Amino acid sequence: MTLSDIANDYVDDLGLRPATLDLEFVQRLNRAHLTHYTFNSLSVVLAQEMPLDVTHLHNKIVTRRRGGYCFEHNKLALHVLSELGFDARLLLAKVVYNRDTDVPRTHRISLVTLDGDDYLLDVGFGPLGPRHPVKISTPEVQQQGNEQFRIVNVERGELGLQVYKDGDFFTLYTFNLHHYSEAECTPAHFYSHKSPDAAFVNNLVIAKKSDNQTESLRNGTWQRTDNGTVTEHTIASEEQLNTVMKEVFDLEIDLATAAFLFKKFVRPSLNQ
């Protein structure tokens, strides 16, 4: 497939025709991507190769429905937007989770400019990520379904993406508007899926998000948030893990793989 074919197939797969160069289309893309393709660490925890060429990403995410994490999801989405003619480019962010800490830029996001306004697009952050593009030029709260997001100035030219969580605004990550190259993603991507200290290396993480419902799994805990109501379940067996991965997250994983994941990531969490 050509790069143009990949973009067209992605658009068709998500039912995004007609593809017009406006904010409504980017909003539709954001929602549809999160609904159809899972955020997960499967390739990381199974020690699979994770090349970032667009052909591989399309095959993995769109054709095989295996999902991925930020360097995969957001690169594919950026490629599609660029092929369609949007003014969009790569940004890199620091995941801080509301801490005052200095960490490397290990999260990939996209900047989309429409009618003179800049928007943050992120289809690869997992259960806490935004469902719609977030306008950057305003500090006002932006309602997205039953969630609220805002972007605030942090310091030294850094901006922070915040979500309203547990009664207050919580900073997910910080970023700036510098121009980054694909080459700068290489060390961050390598760290994120190879370092023994990386969160994705040490945790089985899966998430899928629709308009008012979020499904997420982290090791032995499966959580569903439905219109703001949270229901939590404990994964008690490899068979249950296999069923949840198939029926909730649409991931076709054989029982042997589920057993391996249960033994390595779920069972230890049950004993904590």
SS3 (DSSP) at 88:
strand
Question: Which residues does 9 contact at the CB level (< 8 Å), separation at least 6?
Answer: 1, 58, 62
- Select which of 33, 58, 79, 122 is catalytic: 122
Q: In which order are the strands placed within the sheet that holds 87-95?
A: 134-135, 117-121, 107-114, 87-95, 168-175, 159-165, 147-153, 142-144
Same domain, 235 and 122: no
User: How distant is the alpha carbon of residue 187 from its chain centre?
Assistant: 19
**Residue range 165-188: mean pLDDT, rounded:** 96
Residue 199 within a domain: no
**Residue range 6-18: mean pLDDT, rounded:** 95
Going by pLDDT thresholds of 50, 70 and 90, the confidence category of residue 184 is very high
Q: What is the pLDDT of residue 19?
A: 86
Q: What is the DSSP string of 183-208?
A: GGHHHHHHHHHH-TT-HHHH--EEEE
Same domain, 118 and 247: no
The candidate with the shortest Cα–Cα distance to 260, out of 241, 233, 246, 244, is 241
**What is the CATH classification number for the domain harbouring 251?**
3.30.1120.150
Encoded amino acid at 149, one letter: F
For residue 211, pLDDT beyond 90:
no
Whether 132 sits among the annotated catalytic residues: the reply is no
Contact predicate 71/189, CB 8 Å: yes
> CB burial class (10 A; 0-12, 13-18, 19+) of residue 63?
exposed
Q: What is the residue-averaged pLDDT of the chain?
A: 95
**Residue range 183-194: mean pLDDT, rounded:** 97
Q: What is the pLDDT of residue 272?
A: 62
pTM above 0.75, yes or no: yes
Read off the pLDDT of residues 72-90 as tens digits, 9 standing for 90 and up: 999 999 999 999 999 999 9
- Select which of 33, 73, 79, 107 is catalytic: 107
Of all residues in the chain, the percent with pLDDT exceeding 90 is 89
Q: What is the pLDDT of residue 1?
A: 84
> CB burial class (10 A; 0-12, 13-18, 19+) of residue 129?
buried
The candidate with the shortest Cα–Cα distance to 80, out of 4, 151, 179, is 4
Read off the pLDDT of residues 220-265 as tens digits, 9 standing for 90 and up: 999 999 988 899 999 999 999 999 999 999 999 999 999 999 999 9
For residue 29, pLDDT beyond 70:
yes
Q: What is the pLDDT of residue 152?
A: 96
Same domain, 101 and 27: yes
Q: Which of 152, 184, 216 is the last residue of a domain?
A: 184
- Select which of 33, 70, 189, 193 is catalytic: 70
Which structural domain range is residue 42 located in? 3-184
Same domain, 159 and 40: yes
SS3 (DSSP) at 152:
strand
What distances in angstroms separate CA 135 from CA 19, 120, 222, one per listed residue? 21, 6, 31
Whether 122 sits among the annotated catalytic residues: the reply is yes
Residue 50, phi then psi, degrees to nearest 5: -135, 65
Q: Produce one character per residue of 101-113: b if its CB has 16 or more CB atoms within 10 Å, e if not.
A: eeeebbbbbbbbe
Contact predicate 69/161, CB 8 Å: no
**Residue range 37-57: mean pLDDT, rounded:** 98
Domain count within the chain: 2
User: How distant is the alpha carbon of residue 51 from its chain centre?
Assistant: 17
Same domain, 35 and 97: yes
Whether 79 sits among the annotated catalytic residues: the reply is no
Read off the pLDDT of residues 98-150 as tens digits, 9 standing for 90 and up: 998 889 999 999 999 999 999 999 999 999 999 999 999 988 999 998 899 99
